[in-house]
Amino acid sequence: MTLPLFERARRHADRTAIVAPEGQFAYRELLAAAESVAAHLLDGRTDLAGERVCFLVPSGWTYAAVQWGIWRAGGVAVPMAVSHPAAELEHVLDDAGPTAAVTHPEFADRVANAAGTRRMRLMDTQDLIGVRRDGALPALTPERPCMILYTSGTTGRPKGAVLSHGNVQAQVESLTQAWGWTPHDRVLLHLPLHHVHGIVNILTSALWNGALCEILPTFRPVEVWERLASRELTLYMAVPTVYARLIDAWEEAAPEKQSAWSRGARACRLMISGSAALPVPTLERWEAITGHRLLERYGMTEIGMALSNPLAGERRAGYVGEPLPGVQVRLADEADQPVPSGTPGQIQVRGPTVFGSYLGRPEETAAAFTPDGWFRTGDVAVIERGAYRILGRSSVDILKTGGEKISALEIEDVLRSHEAVADCAVVGVADPEWGERVCAAVVRRPASEVSEADLRIFAKSRLAPYKVPKQFLLVAELPRNPMGKVTKPAVRELFESDTR
């Protein structure tokens, strides 16, 4: 048995699947490249049988071919982020325990040492795709795991959320129905490919539907506007920070450019925002510039998308809409009981889109679900006139910056490992560009001279770039309550009142 994803791709064999820096590729070529990658990974065996394969490949055609190749071989694909320093990559390698790591030649040295000491095969994308290999491939079923995505929780380092083929398929089928995907769609992809937003909502949704996915390896606002101006795109999806950047670029452009860009954007059939709250002024300005009222939706790594404004019908500013097809959503109180209508509660989600477990963390997995199988998102919302409005998160230690979820406690642990840091507190401060800006208040050890710049360099060498605090404040002591616990709201005020 093969998966519907590949069956469907066969039906679209001659259509273009991907346009990327490496060129233009039909579904037929994607299937062939995936088979070759799979045969190399299997190396004479018949099934990877759920072995993990980490891959460090920039966004593009090669990424898609490797991801599909791991799947075709019966493996679990673990994407690693090209923007991450060695310490973050090593955490993923240690936690996922892969039998192989696949790297683009440009990034091989990032994991070469780590792979050597961890006894895994290190494989080069050029060999896997460039040197054609054939072999028997395993039968695949929906309940088999297919992907592990790393996501920050309140405690410790990021955890690996294990998704099955069935989860991804249910997510994509739901979005296909809700957002009206067709083989004639052409979507632009510049979001990082280690998150659900880029991987499922854009890349896999396009490939499931026989549509065309156009991949840009990085986000450059003018380049995106030029692609919109071409009138070739039908769909566009991004995070609020990206829309804010696009608005800034438009405001700075010459009037002729502005009108060409705005006219081109109107040719899209749908534009979507998600991964963080879309500020109403951003929605309004975007609508004034492009004529598009952004469709805002809500999701999470562990559950895919859960709530969405409608494709047809009123898209309410400040609301994330209603449950998507096939997704059960409810609001619950602290005892996991559904709240009366109009009362705020925690969003809980159930259904075939919801992940199975955090890799190797049975206690954390159990704690994430209610006894009757609802996933606890930790987000608080209220339903008003039928639509959900997100009110916030139950933990102050989970932040969202530029669409990236991060743990304040993880950053604090890293900063505390600096010999000159006696204590610290990390908070998210409201920010017009990033949604929340990561800020760190630091108490230095007596006689230490460590500067903000030193701390930034230290953090940058150990943490993903988006986790590095944008602002450090050296303080004599941290604000604490009478019990001696650091009061995060008071720490946040230190930054809000800091006018340097």
Q: Which distant-in-sequence residues (6+ apart) come within 8 Å of 442 by Cβ? A: 415, 421, 423, 424, 455, 472, 473, 474, 475
Q: Is 191 in the site for ligand MCA (CB under 6 A)?
A: yes
- CA 18 to CA 214: how far, in whole Å? 6
Q: Which distant-in-sequence residues (6+ apart) come within 8 Å of 53 by Cβ? A: 41, 70, 73, 75, 76, 77, 78, 98, 99, 100, 101, 102
Q: Is 185 in the site for ligand MCA (CB under 6 A)?
A: no
Q: Is 90 in the site for ligand MCA (CB under 6 A)?
A: no
With contacts defined by CB under 6 A, name the span among 85-93, 209-217, 279-287, 402-410 that binds ligand MCA: 402-410
> Which helix (H) or strand (E) is 66 found in, with range?
helix 61-72
296 contact, one of ligand AMP, ligand MCA, none, CB 5-8 Å limit per kind: ligand AMP
Q: Is 91 in the site for ligand MCA (CB under 6 A)?
A: no
Beta carbon of residue 405, minimum distance to ligand AMP (angstroms, whole number): 3
**What is the residue type of 322?**
E
Our CB check for ligand MCA shows the closer of 196 and 368 to be: 196
- CA 70 to CA 62: how far, in whole Å? 12
- CA 74 to CA 145: how far, in whole Å? 9
**Do the beta carbons of residue 359 and residue 148 sit within 8 Å?**
yes
Our CB check for ligand AMP shows the closer of 198 and 299 to be: 299
**Do the beta carbons of residue 320 and residue 388 sit within 8 Å?**
yes
Our CB check for ligand AMP shows the closer of 65 and 196 to be: 196
Beta carbon of residue 79, minimum distance to ligand MCA (angstroms, whole number): 12
Put residue 123 in one of left, alpha, beta given phi > 0 → left and psi -120 to 50 → alpha: beta
Q: Is 405 in the site for ligand AMP (CB under 6 A)?
A: yes
Q: Which residues of 386-425 are buried (b: 16+ CB within 10 A; e: fewer)?
A: ebbbbeebeebbbbbbbbbbbbbbbbbbbbeebebbebbb
Beta carbon of residue 404, minimum distance to ligand AMP (angstroms, whole number): 7
239 contact, one of ligand AMP, ligand MCA, none, CB 5-8 Å limit per kind: ligand MCA
* Number of residues that this document lists for the chain: 500
- CA 490 to CA 319: how far, in whole Å? 29
Beta carbon of residue 233, minimum distance to ligand AMP (angstroms, whole number): 22
Our CB check for ligand MCA shows the closer of 71 and 434 to be: 434
> Which residue from 296, 322, 397, 412 is in contact with ligand AMP, where contact means CB under 6 A?
296
Q: Is 58 in the site for ligand MCA (CB under 6 A)?
A: no
How many chain residues are in contact with ligand AMP, going by CB under 6 A? 18
> Which residue from 301, 348, 353, 365 is in contact with ligand AMP, where contact means CB under 6 A?
301
**Pairing of β 100-103 and β 121-124:** parallel
Our CB check for ligand AMP shows the closer of 201 and 262 to be: 201
Our CB check for ligand AMP shows the closer of 209 and 282 to be: 282
Q: Is 381 in the site for ligand MCA (CB under 6 A)?
A: no
**Do the beta carbons of residue 59 and residue 85 sit within 8 Å?**
no
Binding to ligand AMP (CB under 6 A) within 249-288 occurs at 274-277
Give Cα separations from 219 to 42, 59, 225, 226, 246 (angstroms): 35, 11, 11, 12, 10
Our CB check for ligand MCA shows the closer of 374 and 466 to be: 466
Q: Is 440 in the site for ligand MCA (CB under 6 A)?
A: no
Our CB check for ligand AMP shows the closer of 69 and 435 to be: 435
Q: Is 196 in the site for ligand MCA (CB under 6 A)?
A: yes
Beta carbon of residue 196, minimum distance to ligand MCA (angstroms, whole number): 4
- CA 390 to CA 483: how far, in whole Å? 31
Q: Between 206 and 235, how does the x/- string for binding to ligand MCA read (CB under 6 A)? A: -------------x----------------
**Do the beta carbons of residue 206 and residue 339 sit within 8 Å?**
no
**Do the beta carbons of residue 340 and residue 288 sit within 8 Å?**
no
219 contact, one of ligand AMP, ligand MCA, none, CB 5-8 Å limit per kind: ligand MCA
Sign of CA dihedral 321, 193, 270, 262: positive
**Do the beta carbons of residue 442 and residue 427 sit within 8 Å?**
no
Q: Residue 212's closest CA among 494, 461, 15?
A: 15
With contacts defined by CB under 6 A, name the span among 189-197, 314-322, 390-398, 447-455 that binds ligand MCA: 189-197
Q: Is 55 in the site for ligand AMP (CB under 6 A)?
A: no
434 contact, one of ligand AMP, ligand MCA, none, CB 5-8 Å limit per kind: ligand MCA
Q: Residue 299's closest CA among 379, 359, 223, 361?
A: 379
Q: Is 151 in the site for ligand AMP (CB under 6 A)?
A: yes
Our CB check for ligand AMP shows the closer of 258 and 328 to be: 328
- Residue 350: half-sphere exposure toward Cβ, Cα within 13 Å: 10
Binding site for ligand AMP (CB under 6 A): 151, 196, 274-277, 296, 298-301, 320, 377, 379, 390, 393, 400, 405
Binding site for ligand MCA (CB under 6 A): 191-192, 195-198, 219, 239, 241-242, 274-275, 299-301, 401-404, 434, 465-466
